[in-house]
Amino acid sequence: MAGVLTTVAVAIAQVALVTKTFSEDIAPHIETIPIQTLTISDEQFLKVDASGRPTIISGILKVARGSGPLPLVILLHGSGGIEENAVVWERLFGSLGISTFDIDSFTGRGIVSTVADQSQLGRLNMILDLYRSLAILAAHSLVDPNRIAVMGFSRGGQAALYATLKRFQKMWDPSGIDAAAYIALYAPCITTYIDDTQVSDHPIRLFHGISDDWVEIAPCRAYFERLRATSKDVQITEYPNLIRGTRLIIPRSHLNPPAYRMHRRRIAC
């Protein structure tokens, strides 16, 4: 009997521990927020042509534990849509008392993935989605508008990186809200835009694996050299022998370099 009681006691203790850990991982406030945006081509974005298709997308706000308006990180997904890497970052930021907001730029547009076909959505469209989200979140009672950062992965990293351009902000962000920091992981730096060194004065950080052959790092090195020449607060961190296959970036099952590899292009727009 003593042995049985000991076993039961251990089991109860283990369940209590799991329940406690699980409850700590759950945000005390979760809210789905609709975002009114547009579906436009890159050409329309660059020409400030707002005649695109009105679209409602959404984002999931997960408020961290704490009191008062809290800092927030906006997460911009990659070509596979919102995936398990988002959960990792949500839990990490939540443990630090930082809320998160996952923008879903695909579902509202009837897109599942752009891995095999990037033409389904303009590259710059996610920047517009971000600007529209910033305006909404900055007015939210549970968010500190002065402590909103942006973090993007691959395709979303590209949006996070180029959302820093002051020209784009002037064109599409009438709220005038400039995020406190911009973080891009594995962002393609393949396009050169007019005035693309005139960026936000806030910190801009890029993280990239040197060995990645899906989105090569060389164009980003060149771009960040140009940015550093302007004395902006920019930094690129390179990881040797690392590609994007870790679950923090994008699932290895989606690795398909030939379908996604891009070449540098220059456009005068």
Residues 183-217 have pLDDT tens digits of 999 999 999 999 999 999 999 999 998 877 678 89
Scored b (16 or more CB within 10 A) or e, 152-178 reads: bbbbbbbbbbbbbbbebbebbbeeebb
Handedness of CA 47, 50, 51, 54 (dihedral sign): positive
pTM: 0.82
Considering only residues 83 and 159, tell me which one the structure prediction assigns the higher pLDDT. 159
Mean pLDDT calculated for residue range 63-88:
93
Q: 84-125: per-residue pLDDT in tens?
A: 889 999 999 999 999 999 999 999 999 999 999 999 999 999
Distance of alpha carbon 221 from alpha carbon 236, whole angstroms: 8
DSSP-derived secondary structure for 204-259: EEEEEETT-SSS-SHHHHHHHHHHHTTT-SEEEEEETT--TTSTTT--GGG--HHH
- Residue 243 has a pLDDT of 59
Residue 243: closest CA among 254, 235, 233, 234 = 254
DSSP class of residue 171 equals H
Q: Name the token pair of 260.
A: 């996604």
What 3 state SS string does 17-46 have?
Answer: HHHHHHHHHCCCEEEEEEEEEEECCHHHHH
Distance of alpha carbon 54 from alpha carbon 31, whole angstroms: 23
Q: What are 208's strand-pairing partners?
A: 238
Q: Which domains are assigned to the chain?
A: 30-266 (3.40.50.1820)
Distance of alpha carbon 114 from alpha carbon 256, whole angstroms: 12
Residue 62: closest CA among 105, 31, 89, 24 = 31
Q: What are 59's strand-pairing partners?
A: 33, 103
Task: Kindly list the distances between the CA atom of residue 43 and the CA atoms of 48, 100, 138, 179, 246, in Å, as whole numbers in the listed order.
Answer: 8, 31, 28, 25, 33
* Chain centre to alpha carbon of residue 66: 23
- Residue 24 has a pLDDT of 59
DSSP-derived secondary structure for 80-125: TBS-HHHHHHHHHHHHTT-EEEEEESSGGGT-S--SS-GGGS-TTH
Element (H, E) at 4: helix 2-25
User: Cβ of 14: how many Cβ atoms within 10 Å?
Assistant: 10
- Residue 258 has a pLDDT of 33
Q: 226-257: per-residue pLDDT in tens?
A: 999 999 999 999 988 765 554 344 333 333 33
- Residue 85 has a pLDDT of 86
What percentage of the chain has pLDDT greater than the value 70? 80
Classify residue 198 by burial, with Cβ atoms within 10 Å: 0-12, 13-18, 19+: middle
Q: What are 30's strand-pairing partners?
A: 62
**Widest distance between CA atoms in the chain:** 81
